[in-house]
Structure formats: C-alpha cells, structure tokens
Structure 1
Amino acid sequence: MPDRRTPRRVASVIRLRPEHADRYRELHRAVPQPVLDTLSRAHITNYSIFLRDDTLFAYYEYTGDDYDADMAAVAADPGTRHWWTLTDPCQQPLDSAGSGERWVDGEELFHLD
C-alpha cells in the first residue's frame, strides 16, 4: 500500500522590490533544472510563488521525514546558492523578519481537505 502521509504545508512571504519586478519574473520563467532537482530531492512538491501588491507569497508541500536536514541540504547546494545570488537582490524581507531571515513563514489558520 502506498504511503499516504499528510504533507507538511509551508507558506511564506517576502516583499518584491518593485524596481526588480521584471527581473524577478524573468528569472522565474526559466528556473535552472539543477535548482528544481534540488527541491525535488528535498521532498518539496506543489511549489508555487504568487505576487500581489509587491508581496511574494510562496506555498509548497513537504513530504519527507527530516525537514531541517532537507532544508539544510537545499541551502548547501551550490546551484541553489547561485540562484539565490540572482533572486535575493529582488527581495526585501518583511519588517517582522528576524536577523538573517529572508522569507518568513505564515501561520496556517485554515485548511480544507
């Protein structure tokens, strides 16, 4: 019988610098395959990023067993780190972000199965 574990739902937000909106869109029209492969190996699925009023909203589902280890593997991946050198200048963390924090997680208030 297949594993039917409930995925961990993750939502996070960050501001998009308006002067970099076109560049950010352009970058996401062609995310490098190695970055996508790293996300897949880290058990990230159903990943989407939305934009509204200069706020980026990301949602993904995590299906692995060790979230912290998988996120550390993503952060250590050279291709992903390079990708972030391209995308980070386009973003501005929210005022509520902690020191060194970029995307900040949102609190799930409702979910319909």
Structure 2
Amino acid sequence: MKRYGQVLKVKAEKEEYYKELHAKPWPGILKTIRECNIRNYSIYLRDGYLYSYYEYIGEDYEADMAKMAADPETQRWWAECTPCQQPVETAQEGELWAEMEEVFHLD
C-alpha cells in the first residue's frame, strides 16, 4: 500500500459547485475509483486549497490510472470538476493535482 497526498486550488466562484458535486458523487465514479485500487480517499478544503489523500493498494499504479482516465463516466466527471480547479503555482507542466511529499505518518 502506498499513500498519496495531493494539492490544488479551487476557483472561488466554483467552490460551492465543487462541494455540491462531491456531496453526491456519481455511483459509477465511486465504483471506478475502487476498481482502480484506491481506498481511504478524502478531499479537504481550506482557504481555496483542496488537499486529497488516498491509499493505493494495487500493483500497477500507472495502469490503474490509465484505466480510470479511459472510463467514459470518469471523463464526464472530470469535465464537471476540472473547470472548478486550478493548479498550484509549483505544479509541474500539465499537472493538475500536485503530489505532496509525505514528511510524517503514524499508524
């Protein structure tokens, strides 16, 4: 199992819509997330920043992320979410959710 932390910004004018979307996620999206070996997934909001945390339990992260990206319902979900989001200033080229470095963990 590998833990992932990521960050991005939510556009102020889209914050309420983003929260509404995530208050009632589409069942197919939740199914695909699980099928792609993601567990214990959370997104937090503070001062215009979104922080996500999840655990990956699979064997091939790149393949599972490609599977998720190829899913038509996921593509429709992202079409709703992406206009709400903007990368942080330090994100890599083409990176929306910027990966964070884990500096502490306690089980």
Which of the five TM-score ranges fits, normalised by the shorter chain? over 0.9
Is 1:83 matched up with 2:77? Answer: yes
2:54 aligns with 60
2:105 aligns with 111
- Residue type at the aligned position of 1:71: M
| Cα RMSD for the two superposed structures | 0.7
1:32-61: CA deviation from partner (whole Å, max 9, x where unpaired): 111111100001000000001100000000
With the length of structure 1 as denominator, give the TM-score of the two structures.
0.92
SS class of match (1:108): coil
Is 1:30 matched up with 2:24? Answer: yes
Is 1:96 matched up with 2:90? Answer: yes
- Equivalent in 47, 53, 67 of residue 73 of structure 1: 67
With the length of structure 2 as denominator, give the TM-score of the two structures.
0.97
Runs of 4+ in 1 over 4 A off after TM superposition: none
Gaps of 5+ in 2: none
The separation in 2 between residues aligned to 1:72 and 1:10, in whole angstroms, is 17
- Residue type at the aligned position of 1:57: Y
- Equivalent in 5, 10, 15 of residue 9 of structure 2: 15
Gaps of 5+ in 1: 1-6
Equivalent residue pairs, number:
107
Greater C-alpha radius of gyration: 1
The separation in 2 between residues aligned to 1:76 and 1:96, in whole angstroms, is 27
Shift of 1:96: 1.1
Q: What is the percentage of aligned positions where both structures have the same residue?
A: 48
2:36 aligns with 42
